[in-house]
Structure 1
C-alpha cells in the first residue's frame, strides 16, 4: 500500500498532468474534421476493408495480415485465420475476396475435417450469392462427402439444385438431410417446394411430349395428304431433283415425292401461314399472286384446294379495284394466270375456272417454299405482249 507521502506525490503528478490540458492542446489526438477517417483506419472499427493494404497508411491492419499469413504458424492456425478473414469479407458482401480467402485456407490442407467442411460450405455460400450455382453445388457436395450430416452443406446443395431447376436432385439432397435432421424446418420446407416443382416439371414434360406427338401426327397426315395428291414440293437442299428435262418423263416427280418432307413447307417463317388439312380432309394453301406490270402482289393465306381462281379474283377485283390500277383494267374477265416452270423456261397458262388442286397436280408444277405462286397479266395489254415475248407458252 502506498504511503501517505507517496499518495500525495502521485496526486500532485496527476494534478500537474491535468493542468497541462488547460493550457496546452493534446497533439496526438484525432481532429474534429478527420476523426471518422482516422477511426476507420483502426481494424476494430473499420466499416469495410481496403482493396489494397498500404503498410504506411494501415500499419495495424498490415500487422494483422502478416499474422494471418504467417507461414511459420501451424497449417491449422493459418487455415482458421483465413476462414475468419473470409467471413469478414463475406459479412461485407465482398464475396469474391471471401472465396479467395476460403480457397487459400483449403490449400493449407490442415487435416482438420471440421474446418475443411466449414471452409467448403462457406465458399459454397459465397459462390451461391454470386450466382455461381455449379461451383456452389460442387463445394456443397465436397463438404457433404467429408461430413455427410453437415446441415449447412445439405441445405446449400438443395438450394443450388433448386436454382439449377434440378428438382429431383433437390429432393434427394433434402431426403439425405432429413435422415440426419428430421425436424429441421428449412429442410422440410425446401423439400416440399422441390417436390412441388418436380411434379409440375414432370407434368409440363408430359404435356410437351403429348403436344409434340400430336403435332408430329398432324405433320405426318399433312405430308401424306400432299403425297397422295401427287403434289410436288421443291426441296431447298436439292432443287434440281424435282424436275426432268422431258415433261413426258415423271422420274423427277417421283424423286420429289419420295423425298417429301417439311423442308418444302417453309412458308410459315416468311409469311406466317402454312398449308393445313381441315377436318373434312381438304388442303388449304397460302397462295401468292404476282402482278409484274406494277410490281405488286396479293397474298391469300388459305386458298382451299377445291376453290377456283375466278372465285378469288372476283373478290379481289370486284366492285373496288386496287389503287395501283390507275388504268382500271384489272377486271376478273380481263385477267390471265400463268405459273412458271423455271427449269424448262416455260410459262403454263392457267384457266381461271380450274380448281387450285387441279393446277397443283400438274406434273410440271412445283410448290416452292410451301407457297404456290402465279403470275397475273391483263389480256390484250402492251405489257403482256412485251412480257411474253421470247418465252415458251403452254396451256394446261
Structure 2
C-alpha cells in the first residue's frame, strides 16, 4: 500500500510539472490589473463610457449596434432612445436623459405622438436640471405638435412660474384646465402664480412711489443748495442732471471713521441744511468727521467739543481750540483761504471760491504760528475769508 501511495504522488507531481513554466492561456486576466480588465467586460461594467470606441470596446460596441440597429425604422430607433431616456430619468440622471431624448428627436421620425412625448420628457429633464428656458422651449415645441397635450401644458406653466412669468403661467394653467378642470398641479400653479403676480405688482407700485418720493426730495435739496448760492465742484456741476445724480450718492466710504459711511447732505423739516464735514490735520495725517454739521453752526463750537480732550496724536498738547486756524484750498488757482473759526458753515460754503466736492465740505486745521504751519504755507498765496 505504501508503494502504491508513493506511486500516485509521483504521478501527480509529474502531471503538475507539465504546467510549470507554461504560458498563460490566451485572453486570461492579468494577475496585477485584473480588476480594471474585469470592469471592461460589458456584463460586469459598473458604468458605461460616454463614448464607445469599437477598437477598445468591441464587445460593448457590438451590444450597442444590436440595440440601435440601423436596420430599424426611424420610429423604432427614436422609441428606443425614448425608453433609454426614461430609464435615466427614473434614476434621476437627468443629463443623460436629456441626451437620450435629444438623440431620439434627431431621428426626425414621422410619429407625431412620439415626438411630442420626446419633447415633453426632455422638458421635464431640463426642468429638474434648472434649465427652465430650455424646458419651456420643449414644452412649446410639444404643443406645436399637439396643442392639447396636457403634460406639455403643465410643464410649460411650471416653467413660466419659475421664470417669474406669472401672467403667462396663469394663461397656460387656464388652457390646461379647460382640458381637465380638476388637474391638481395646474390648479395649484394658477393659485401660486396669481398670488405672486399680485405681490410683484404691489412691490412695483411701492418701488415707483419710493422712487418718486426720493426724486422729489433730491429736487428740493438741489433747489435749497442753489438758492443759497452754494457751488458744487466744477466736475459735477456741468448740468443739472449731473448735479442731481451727484447728490443722490454722497457717501464717504473709505474716508476714515465708520460714521462717514453713507453720510450725506440733508434738508430737514425746517428747511435747513446739514452737511457731512471732514476736517484734515495735515501735520499729523489725521482726520475728524462730523456726519451732521448744521449750516447755521459755527466752526468754533464744533472745534471746542472735538478738542475738549486733546487727542493722543497731539503729543505736544498744542491743539487747543483757541490756537487753531481753519483753511480751505482752491485747487483750481492753487490758493488757500483762511476762515474765521467764529463764522458759520453756511457763510464758508457761500464763498465765491468754495466748491463742494462729493457732497462733503472739507477744511484744513492747523495750529497758529506752528513751524509746520509756516512750512505748509511757504510759497502759497493765502487769503482771509471776506
| TM value normalised by structure 2 | 0.82
Indicate if the aligned counterparts of 1:123 and 1:139 stay in contact, CA closer than 8 A. Answer: yes
Residue 285 of structure 2 corresponds to residue 286 of structure 1: no
Provide the C-alpha distance between the structure 2 equivalents of 1:362 and 1:57, rounded to a whole number of angstroms: 87
Residue 152 of structure 1 aligns with which residue? 151
Structure 1: distance between partners of 2:177 and 2:113: 20
1:127-157 deviation line (CA, Å, top 9, x unaligned): 1111111111100111112112212111111
- Contact 1:234 1:264 survives alignment (8 Å): no
Q: For residue 376 of structure 1, give the secondary structure of its aligned residue in structure 2.
A: strand
Q: Distance in 1 between matches of 2:370 and 2:265?
A: 34
**CA-CA distance at 1:260 after TM superposition:** 3.1
**Structure-1 separation of matches of 2:52 and 2:242:** 72
Does 2:284 match 1:301?
no
Matches for 1:1-396 after TM superposition, within 5 Å: 42=43, 51=50, 62=61, 65-236=64-235, 260-263=243-246, 266-270=249-253, 271-272=260-261, 273-318=263-308, 320-396=309-385
CA distance change for structure 1 residues 158 and 235 in 2, over 3 Å: closer, same or farther? farther
Contact 1:285 1:304 in 2 (8 A): yes
Q: State the SS of the aligned residue for 2:382.
A: strand
Give CA-to-partner distance per residue, 1:228-265, whole Å, 9 cap, x none: 1111111546xxxx7xxxxxxxxxxxx67796333266
Other structure's SS at 2:243 match: coil
Are the aligned partners of 2:339 and 2:348 in contact in 1 as well (CA < 8 Å)?
yes
**Aligned-residue offset at 1:105:** 1.2
Per the alignment, do residues 256 and 182 of structure 1 end up closer, same or farther by CA in structure 2, a change over 3 Å counting?
closer
2:123–2:134 CA contact under 8 A, matched in 1: yes
Structure 1, unpaired ranges of 5+: 1-33, 243-254
Distance 2:338 2:109 in 1: 90
Distance 1:149 1:288 in 2: 70
Give the conservation status (yes or no) of the 8 Å contact 2:234–2:355: no
- Are 1:276 and 1:284, in contact at CA under 8 Å, matched by a contact in 2? yes
C-alpha deviation, 1:94, in angstroms: 2.2
> When the two structures are aligned, how many residues end up with a matched partner?
342
CA RMSD in angstroms comes to 2.6
Deviation at 1:108, TM superposition (A): 1.6
Provide the C-alpha distance between the structure 1 equivalents of 2:70 and 2:365, rounded to a whole number of angstroms.
90
Distance, in Å, in 2 between the alignment partners of 1:52 and 1:350 is 81
Separation in structure 2 between the aligned mates of residue 128 and residue 390 of structure 1, nearest angstrom: 73
- CA offsets per residue over residues 281-305 of structure 1, 9 Å max, x none? 1111110111111111101111011
Note the residue ranges of structure 2 that are not aligned, 5 or more in a row. Answer: 1-34, 254-259
SS in 2 for 1:280: coil
Alpha-carbon distance in 2 for matches of 1:257, 1:359 = 23
Contact 2:338 2:384 in 1 (8 A): yes
Name the structure 2 match of 1:252: none
TM value normalised by structure 1: 0.80
Separation in 2 of the partners of 1:341 and 1:266?
Answer: 23
